[in-house]
């Protein structure tokens, strides 16, 4: 009999690639979600997946997951320590492995590069704080002889079907219009600030590996990113080149940038760029055998190409790559 893996939130960015991977690997897969949204990319393997509708906000959610009788539970949509703790309490003694999706935002602004799992600074903001608290709780749970857990912490997830974090650290579509037209792009700061992307299928690979290599993954946390990171200047130059242009960059202070950018996009740029994240994947490579297929620029290009082809991103000219 094949092992049963329950994936909570399997119709999202990671699950789009993870669920078909698990089916191909021979697992019996159950996808738990609040609704019936389809995955971002279709795959025939979804026909073999059992779909269960359940809302995490319901008090009986941990019981519902436990009743599914999983050998491993993959939790892709947990954002608070309270919710994570309730699931751990219910699965202890009921499931063999809980694999949690965290975030690189459990780490604050970088002091050195690359950042390893044990060298990051304290998180900023409620989202990062909660992800860090969850990861620490999970490590303590396993170390104390409780539920076997693993936490994986992806970078900025990129894939076909949604907008990538762009060269200015935001989702502002005007950045792509500007670069594609060869117009000057106002850049806050020095242009050397880093962002660390990762393709959704590489993240899915890491979850599949953590399940398959449970003993190596037990009680551990792993950063999951592309082999390299992009800084603002390099990202803009590469992106402009996709449209046959060099990047014309105008460096401005953050105060000047905020006067012309929308509050939403200016805040997103600040949140991404002031952290200036660049991570090491040595631990994931050595313990899990993680081998990402995508460099960040290849992942972003795939996403941008899909958006343009589907009329979801307006640019001044065609891609030349």
Whether the predicted pLDDT of 7 surpasses 90:
yes
- Tally the C-alpha atoms within 13 A of residue 156's C-alpha that lie toward its C-beta: 30
Give the model's pLDDT for residue 21: 98
The values of phi and psi at residue 268, to 5°, are: -60, -40
What's the Rg (C-alpha) of the chain?
20
pLDDT at 140 over 80: yes
Per-residue pLDDT, 1 = 62
Average pLDDT, the chain: 97
**Average pLDDT of span 162-175:** 98
- Contact of 18 with 101, CB cutoff 8 Å: no
- Quick one: average pLDDT of 126-139? 98
Q: Is 198 left (phi over 0), alpha (psi -120 to 50) or beta?
A: beta
The number of helix segments (H) and strand segments (E) in the chain equals: 12, 13
Quote the CA–CA distance of 162 and 40 in Å, as a whole number. 8
pLDDT of residue 37: 74
Residues 6+ apart with CB under 8 A from 208: 18, 21, 22, 25
Query: Which pLDDT band, with edges at 50, 70 and 90, does 2 fall under?
Result: confident
Lowest mean pLDDT among 1-5, 132-136, 288-292: 1-5
Neighbouring CB atoms inside 10 A of 312's CB total 12
Which range (18-27, 36-45, 166-175) has the least confidence? 36-45
For residue range 267-314, what is the model confidence (pLDDT) as tens digits?
999 999 999 999 999 999 999 999 999 999 999 999 999 999 999 999
pLDDT at 39 over 90: no
């Amino acid at each position: 009999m094949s092992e049963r893996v329950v994936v909570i939130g399997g119709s999202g960015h990671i699950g789009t690639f993870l669920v078909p991977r698990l089916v191909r690997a021979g697992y019996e897969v159950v996808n738990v979600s609040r609704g019936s949204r389809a995955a971002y990319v279709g795959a025939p393997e979804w026909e073999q997946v059992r779909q269960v509708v359940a809302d995490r906000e319901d008090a009986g959610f941990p019981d519902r997951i436990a009743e599914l009788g999983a050998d491993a539970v993959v939790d892709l949509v947990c954002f608070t320590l309270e919710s994570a703790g309730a699931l751990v309490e219910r699965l202890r003694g009921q499931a063999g492995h809980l694999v949690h999706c965290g975030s690189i935002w459990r780490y604050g602004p970088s002091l050195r590069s690359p950042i390893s799992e044990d060298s990051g600074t304290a998180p900023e903001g409620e989202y990062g704080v909660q992800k860090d608290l969850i990861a620490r709780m999970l490590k303590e749970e396993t170390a104390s002889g409780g539920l076997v857990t693993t936490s994986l912490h992806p970078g900025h997830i990129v894939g076909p079907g949604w907008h990538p974090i762009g060269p200015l650290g935001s989702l502002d579509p005007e950045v792509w219009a500007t670069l594609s037209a060869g117009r000057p792009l106002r850049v806050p700061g020095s242009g050397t600030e880093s962002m660390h992307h990762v393709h959704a299928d590489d993240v899915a690979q890491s979850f599949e590996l953590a399940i398959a290599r449970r003993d190596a993954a037990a009680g551990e946390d792993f950063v999951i990113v592309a082999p390299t990171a992009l800084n603002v200047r390099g990202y803009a130059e590469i992106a402009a080149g996709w449209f046959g242009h060099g990047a014309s960059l105008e460096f401005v202070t953050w105060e000047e940038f905020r006067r012309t950018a929308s509050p939403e996009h200016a805040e997103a740029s600040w949140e991404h760029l002031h952290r200036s994240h660049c991570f090491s994947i040595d631990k994931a490579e050595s313990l899990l055998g993680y081998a990402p297929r995508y460099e960040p620029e290849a992942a972003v290009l795939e996403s941008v190409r899909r958006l343009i082809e589907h009329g979801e991103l307006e640019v001044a000219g065609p891609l030349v790559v």
